[in-house]
Amino acid sequence: KETVEPSGARGHGGQRQLHESAGVQRGTHTWREPARELVPAVCALPSPLCLCVSFPVQQCRECPAGWLHLDNQCYFFSSDKLDWLKSRASCEEMGGHLSILHSVEQHDAVEKEARRIGVFDHHYWIGLSDLDKEGDWRWVDNTTLQHKYWDQHSSEPDNHQSGGEHGEDCATLDSRSKTWFDVPCDHVHKRICQMAVVQLH
């Protein structure tokens, strides 16, 4: 049974350091466990999630309203667009993080949902960048790639410099082609946030 830990209990600990003015350098940002204490707060609100608390025998959906439950994870597909750094911050403010897609099943499920709701606008930020070191792609928790879905047709990731010498250091999921593209981090896209399900009982 999963327990809700105080934020910062695992990982690097310490305070989050977000120096937006320092530019797009992931080194200035310390990964920490998502602020899970934010999540149970949804039960203070009248929602289907809270009804589950009253009926412990019922198998509950354990994601906040508006989040999709896939396996033991919750995913949020935004309709608004932000640049990558602001997208990362927005997911954290919601108690999660930009999506980390380690397994084939995760990628397929998220891509399928993104395609379903994305319609004509099918690019979403995921929590993948090579901001720290060119070509060293890391998820936002600093883990390395286990499965890669780079778009082969366009020879991604190509760090294309048409947008400037800084190249392309942040990754989007193109739900139509079911592949990833590296694009400039200051572009704006919709985003996919993720958090682990909350064990209610």
Which segments of the chain does DSSP mark as H helices, in order?
48-54, 84-93, 104-118
Residue 168 is a binding residue for Ca ion (CB under 5 A): yes
Q: Between residue 93 and residue 152, which ones bind Ca ion under the rule CB under 5 A? A: 130
d(CA 11, CA 130): 20
* Contact status, residue 129 vs residue 186, Cβ threshold 8 Å: no
Structure letter (DSSP) for residue 140: T
Among 160, 166, 176, 187, the residue binding Ca ion under the rule CB under 5 A is 160
Q: Which is nearer to Ca ion, 73 or 172 (CB)?
A: 172
- Listed ranges 78-86, 88-96, 142-150, 169-177: which one lies at the site for Ca ion (CB under 5 A): 169-177
Among 108, 121, 141, 158, the residue binding Ca ion under the rule CB under 5 A is 158
* Contact status, residue 76 vs residue 92, Cβ threshold 8 Å: no
Q: Between residue 172 and residue 191, which ones bind Ca ion under the rule CB under 5 A? A: 182
Among 103, 159, 161, 199, the residue binding Ca ion under the rule CB under 5 A is 159
Structure letter (DSSP) for residue 37: G
User: Which residue, among 182, 172, 156, has the nearest Cα to 121 in the 3D structure?
Assistant: 172
Residues that bind Ca ion (CB under 5 A): 130, 156, 158-160, 167-169, 182
